[in-house]
Amino acid sequence: MKSAKPKNTPAARWLSYRPEIKVVDCTIRDGGLMNNHHFDDKIVKVVYDTCVAAGIDYMELGYKASRKGIKQGEYGCWKYCLEEDLRRIVGENKTDLKLAIMADAERCDYHEDIPPKKESVVDLIRVATYISQIPTALDMVKDAHDKGYETTINLMAASVVPESELDEGLEMFARSEAEAIYVVDSFGALYSEKVHHLVRKYLHYCKRSGKEVGMHMHNNLQLAFANTIEGIVLGANYLDGTLGGLGRGAGNCPMELLISFLHNPKYDLRPVLECEQNYIEPMRSKLLWGYDLPYLLTGMLNQHPRAAIKFKEAELKGQKGDVLEFYDTVTEED
């Protein structure tokens, strides 16, 4: 694994870092929400090789979603992450990089579709749940833990969860087998004050049960990186990022910014830049992720970005949208 210290970097910059921090690359999983998970093998392999070379701790390859009633060809294989597809890319994964998949509560036949760890190259099962799905999520975490996996919980749409329900949910998560619980800014709506409040709350519940806090931010307000930093400063140790920020809608915390900030010599920026230049950025004109006015507006209003995604998809088909009309529509709905 290459992890060379960049040239002309002051030595003092490398003397202060938190070795307990874990960086999770979500490029293929979160980015797959922009193309129905139709990444070809070459791109997935390049991202995998980049994560290995850059010293990143985990790579999330996609979802483990239910295959019942699916339409042939509607989604790519990274929606389902079958073992044969994973091994086609990583082989036996004889590297220091750990592999992760995400399983959504109530959208995964986890008892049947997630095999025992000894039969899989996957190391970490990340359970994603809304506050109303906690009983299912807790059973999924236990199932994965009992099968031998590391586990984390991503509580989605935290920005709209009532305080009392959040406290109750975190109390239950703190008693689960999960190694970490994530602060998730699903709508890209959080400002620093709310990030501080949430991270401190999550730490309160997590630390007393020996768990870590994670950060998964979206960039609707151009704050994904800044909010991730806020989480780091407060003590969050599981950090999500994507190459070039590639992810649903406005995208995620850009990996190049994150590992540059961490000052840990185990992380190497050069492979990340190479991959972004040669493979990620050329996809931007087709996938249209990243900060844009429609995503700003849904983030500002603390709304799911589905309306903004629809707006951008129409533009991709040559239908020029009217941002002012979009603004009037979403503010009326709010």
pLDDT at 333: 67
pLDDT at 222: 97
Per-residue pLDDT reduced to its tens digit, 129-177: 999 999 999 999 999 999 999 999 999 999 999 999 999 999 999 999 9
pLDDT band at residue 11 under the 50/70/90 scheme: very low
pLDDT at 66: 96
Per-residue pLDDT reduced to its tens digit, 24-38: 999 999 999 999 999
Q: Is residue 290 within 8 Å of residue 252, measured between CB atoms?
A: no
Given a cut of 80, is residue 268 above it in pLDDT? yes
Given a cut of 50, is residue 10 above it in pLDDT? no
HSE (side-chain half, CA atoms, 13 Å) at 322: 4
User: Cα(233)–Cα(220) distance, rounded to whole angstroms?
Assistant: 22
Given a cut of 70, is residue 14 above it in pLDDT? no
Given a cut of 90, is residue 15 above it in pLDDT? no
Q: Over the chain, what is the mean pLDDT? A: 94
pLDDT at 206: 97
pLDDT band at residue 103 under the 50/70/90 scheme: very high
Phi-psi region at 249: left, alpha or beta (left = phi > 0; alpha = psi -120 to 50) = left
pLDDT at 334: 60
Domain span(s) for CATH 3.20.20.70 in the chain:
18-286
Given a cut of 90, is residue 316 above it in pLDDT? no
Given a cut of 50, is residue 184 above it in pLDDT? yes
pLDDT at 72: 85
Given a cut of 90, is residue 5 above it in pLDDT? no
Please list the residues that pair with 180 across neighbouring strands: 152, 212
Indicate the CATH number for domain 18-286: 3.20.20.70
pLDDT at 284: 93
Place of tokens 């790579």: 59
Given a cut of 80, is residue 122 above it in pLDDT? yes
Residues 6+ apart with CB under 8 A from 199: 183, 213, 215, 230, 231, 234, 235, 236
Per-residue pLDDT reduced to its tens digit, 42-82: 999 999 999 999 999 999 999 999 999 888 889 999 999 99
Per-residue pLDDT reduced to its tens digit, 186-241: 999 999 999 999 999 999 999 999 999 999 999 999 999 999 999 999 999 999 99
Per-residue pLDDT reduced to its tens digit, 270-303: 999 999 999 999 999 899 899 999 999 999 999 9
The DSSP bridge pattern shows strands 180-184 and 150-155 to be parallel
pLDDT band at residue 315 under the 50/70/90 scheme: confident
